[in-house]
Structure 1
Amino acid sequence: MTKNKIINAKIALDSLSTYRGLLQDKVLNELNGLLTYLLSQEKEISTIINKYNDFYYCLINSNSTNTFKSYIINCILFDTNVFSKAAEIKEFSSINNCIKNAVVNDLLCLQRIASLSAEDIKSYLKETNLHWDYEINVVMALPVWDFKDYISSNSKINSIFEEFNTSEDWNLCIEKLADFYKENGTGIFAKYKGFVWEKQNSIGRLKGIDAPDPIRISDLIEYNFERKIIVENTLSFLKGNSANNILLYGDRGTGKSSTVKALLNEYCDQGLRIIELQKAFVSDFSEVIRAIKNSSLKFIVFIDDLAFEDNEENYTALKAVLEGGLESTPKNLIIYATSNRRHLIKETHSGREDEIHSSDAMQEKLSLADRFGITVTFLSPDQNKYLEIVEGMVRNRGLIIEKEQLKKQALVWEMRYNGRSPRTAKQFVDWLEGQLN
């Protein structure tokens, strides 16, 4: 009977233990409310319709999948719980058997919930609650939620997704699920690869970036020696070896920030994640550490356009982080910062004339940059290098233009606009592409 499917789905929701946090999910919370009302003694057709559509609305606006089954699988993959956290840092065989047994039961329950269809609910209503033709017509017209299978751009997610999608017994997927957590982390760290630290009402949190900049190392022209230093340090970090914090110093528009962003796209499959931290939030660094220190993934904290005014004391917070305070920086975190100022501090002739030991104060400020183990300098290109960058970008985009004409237009562009830099070259090539097409 259809009623049994409704009852079984409700019992399955109530039976969740390790994955019980999923009951707080908006979609599953709305489903729970709908099923509870359907199984109650007194029911009003208007309330049923509202609860049904509340569930449907949450599901289709979840920005995740287009089928309920796909949504449940995603909930499993991106949940943070005692099992997922253990699987991230331990071998599957080392995880407590009581926890694994609970997960097996939860996976079967979630499979039962995922099998619930719009037709099941409609049939149940038709069998038990409707008395007039107009009510039947209204219920039969309610929207369904099975559209098309979910496909992610992440091949690792697609692999584990397909395991669940094709399995007749989800409990058999538990070991591969544990492998997924170990390789990709848990919760938002599995779902996203780039993050920003944001604050609302004085409370800081990591926010995942849905569409990070897709730039790759191969998209960046010239500055190969500079990037080689950064890439080698990053690879050493990913291998678990010693690695340095890096200051990328140089002229504006030379590709410092783009280099760091490109690292994420190159090495996210090797467990790299990047957290962008605004200078204003440097004092929150201890909170960032607590958010990631138990993860098996590797994190670069990226501070873009770092610079402090002469009278600004916030630089002491960063200095403390670089030197190491009472709360040590975990081994899975390093700092990459970009700046247009060599010493990160705006230097003035007056310095701090009111201090007796003004030279000591200035030395303290200028020493901040020295706390980075490596400084990589990006200087504006000369004319030949600028033209090589333009030619490389034109070649990468497959644009056809006579070389002398390209040179002439590129030089006119840099004189009229922002001077010679990779950023200016990109702006010119963007314009050129529009003209040629």
Structure 2
Amino acid sequence: MKNIHFEVGYEIKYAKLSLNSISIYRELLRDRVILGLTDFLELICQGKIHIESVIRLYNEFFFMLVHKGYSSLEEYIIDEIIFSENPFSKGAENKSFNKFENSIKSAAANDLESLRYIARLNFSNIKQMLLNYFQNDEFKEIIEKLPELKDTNDFKEHNYANHIRNLKKKFHYSSNWSECIEDLQKFHEDYGCGMFVRYRAFIWEYIDGKGEFKGIEKPDPIGLSDLVAYERERSIIIENTIQFLKGFPANNVLIHGDRGTGKSSTVKAILNKYYTEGLRMVELPKAYLKDFADIIRVLKTRTQKFIIFIDDLVFEDNEGSYTALKSILEGGLENKSQNVLIYATSNRRHLVKEYFNERGVFPSPNFSEEIHGGDSVQEKLSLADRFGINVVFVSPDKNKYLQIVDGIAKNRNLKIDRETLHKEALKWERWYNGRSARTARQFIDWIEGHERTEDYKV
């Protein structure tokens, strides 16, 4: 397989120059998909190309694109533009543009037009050019089998919020992306930029020894309409959340009570209801409470409202994270931010485990114990009181349990005789986890699957 002298066409030369001309969106050049495309174009621009290298670099580029979940280069680049965090998008988010910074806006507009050219490269033409130059090669048929990218005219409305979908459509149907700069600026002013626009839910985790936000691609889709019963308890949390989103005073919330009653599901459903209004959620594992100040430093400058979600909270005696949470709730200067609240769930009202000897029951002869033990007990019991709102979810009685079963069955349009449904539901809760909203949902999952399996057999 010999090298072939490839006469580089205008389209490929212009595409390569367009990539090099990018300034404000230059971070995109480090993206693995764009890097793969750059390597492919640079190979062709060398003039002498080897068929093996062409095939390898094209397929590496194609693999990276589909690996990211895309089959259209245009769709991918539009998303990268919308969710990019750069001097233009940050300036728009902070509404800090002045006459000097208008040069940034102008440069960003030029970048958009360069990116439009890249996004709409005609790979069918490039493939045909390669076929023409390799027409006498014995392995030409491999070029013919190179996978095709999706037609850029095929616009699919994915599961994006309306404000994102509308901006994507603006780009897709525009013949000059630089004219979209005003819409893009308004978008960043209203909704922010970067990962906090792309994702609604995050988890704080350690990667290579450093704490950072990780966006959750597919958060739990549960909605408020999926939750049955506990309307009064849920309404307290919803009202507090709405106050928070409107910029009014709001409280940290502790949701405690029996297991399986829907405490965590309530918090997740509230996020799904209000994320289009700027609500975001960061799940913070208890072990990383000490990082709260670091998290606040990042979030306090953003336009969104954030709920720090601490699930299944309970402390062992003498845990350092207990002291960290106490400091957070007391609101030191470093832990204060108008756009951050804490929502925590726990199966216990008293978040720190307490022992009989602390209450003076079975007094211990251990002289090393604290003299004023009662003060320690009160200190432990007062942690929950530092949350402004406490909401209790208790296990349902028989009637409420069956009400939850009926509600979930109705939501799923199950056509099962009510007497049979109740009889089986009561057997299920005796056999398994007792009465709770979670048990009711697990029972409905089972009986729905059972019914569908029987229908399938028929």
TM-score category by the smaller chain?
Answer: over 0.9
Structure 2: distance between partners of 1:294 and 1:94: 23
Structure 2 residue aligned with 1:19: 25
Matched residue SS, 1:377: strand
Structure 2: distance between partners of 1:255 and 1:184: 30
Structure 1 residue aligned with 2:363: none
Q: Is the 8 A contact 1:308 1:346 kept in 2?
A: yes
Alignment partner of 2:106 out of 87, 101, 125: 101
Letter in 2 for 1:141: K
Q: Is the 8 A contact 1:193 1:273 kept in 2?
A: yes
Q: Is the 8 A contact 1:66 1:150 kept in 2?
A: no
Q: Is the 8 A contact 1:386 1:422 kept in 2?
A: yes
Structure 2 residue aligned with 1:362: 377
Structure 2: distance between partners of 1:141 and 1:91: 50
Superposition map of 1:377-396 within 5 A: 377-396=392-411
Structure 1 residue aligned with 2:167: 160
Matched residue SS, 2:349: coil
Structure 1: distance between partners of 2:82 and 2:306: 21
Letter in 2 for 1:62: K
Structure 1 residue runs without a partner (length 5+): none
Q: CA deviation at 1:400?
A: 2.5
Q: Is the 8 A contact 1:86 1:95 kept in 2?
A: no
Q: CA deviation at 1:130?
A: 4.2
Structure 2 residue 40 is the aligned partner of structure 1 residue 34:
yes
Alignment partner of 1:290 out of 293, 297, 303: 297
Q: Is the 8 A contact 1:67 1:149 kept in 2?
A: no
Please report the RMSD computed on the Cα atoms of aligned residues, expressed in angstroms: 2.1
What are the superposed Cα offsets for residues 403-430 of structure 1, whole Å, 9 maximum, x if unpaired? 3333322222222221111111111222
Structure 1 residue aligned with 2:362: none
Structure 2 residue aligned with 1:239: 246
Structure 2: distance between partners of 1:95 and 1:334: 36
Change in Cα spacing, 1:139 to 1:429, as seen in structure 2 (3 Å) is closer
Q: Is the 8 A contact 2:8 2:45 kept in 1?
A: no
Structure 2 residue 191 is the aligned partner of structure 1 residue 184:
yes
Identity over the aligned pairs, expressed in percent?
49
Structure 2 residue 283 is the aligned partner of structure 1 residue 268:
no
Q: Which moved more, 1:240-249 or 1:276-285?
A: 276-285
Matched residue SS, 2:308: strand
Structure 2: distance between partners of 1:208 and 1:198: 10
Structure 2: distance between partners of 1:56 and 1:383: 57
Change in Cα spacing, 1:317 to 1:123, as seen in structure 2 (3 Å) is same
Matched residue SS, 1:49: helix
Matched residue SS, 1:351: helix
What are the superposed Cα offsets for residues 142-198 of structure 1, whole Å, 9 maximum, x if unpaired? 222125534321133221111111101101111111222233331211211111111
Q: CA deviation at 1:358?
A: 1.6
Q: Is the 8 A contact 1:214 1:262 kept in 2?
A: yes
Alignment size in residue pairs: 435
Structure 2 residue 148 is the aligned partner of structure 1 residue 144:
yes
TM-score where L is the length of structure 1: 0.94
Q: Which moved more, 1:405-414 or 1:197-206?
A: 405-414
Structure 2: distance between partners of 1:70 and 1:245: 40
Matched residue SS, 2:68: coil
Q: CA deviation at 1:92?
A: 7.7
TM-score where L is the length of structure 2: 0.90
Structure 1: distance between partners of 2:402 and 2:47: 78
Letter in 2 for 1:134: E
Change in Cα spacing, 1:413 to 1:95, as seen in structure 2 (3 Å) is farther
Q: Is the 8 A contact 1:92 1:178 kept in 2?
A: no
Letter in 2 for 1:107: L
Structure 2 residue aligned with 1:308: 315
Structure 2: distance between partners of 1:60 and 1:30: 12
Letter in 1 for 2:92: A
Matched residue SS, 1:350: helix
Alignment partner of 2:67 out of 61, 79, 91: 61
Structure 2 residue 211 is the aligned partner of structure 1 residue 204:
yes
Q: Which moved more, 1:419-428 or 1:405-414?
A: 405-414
Change in Cα spacing, 1:361 to 1:29, as seen in structure 2 (3 Å) is same
Q: Is the 8 A contact 1:307 1:344 kept in 2?
A: yes
Structure 2 residue 260 is the aligned partner of structure 1 residue 253:
yes
Structure 2: distance between partners of 1:403 and 1:112: 61
Structure 2 residue 437 is the aligned partner of structure 1 residue 433:
no
Structure 2 residue runs without a partner (length 5+): 1-6, 360-365, 453-458
Structure 2: distance between partners of 1:81 and 1:90: 14
Q: Which moved more, 1:400-409 or 1:260-269?
A: 400-409
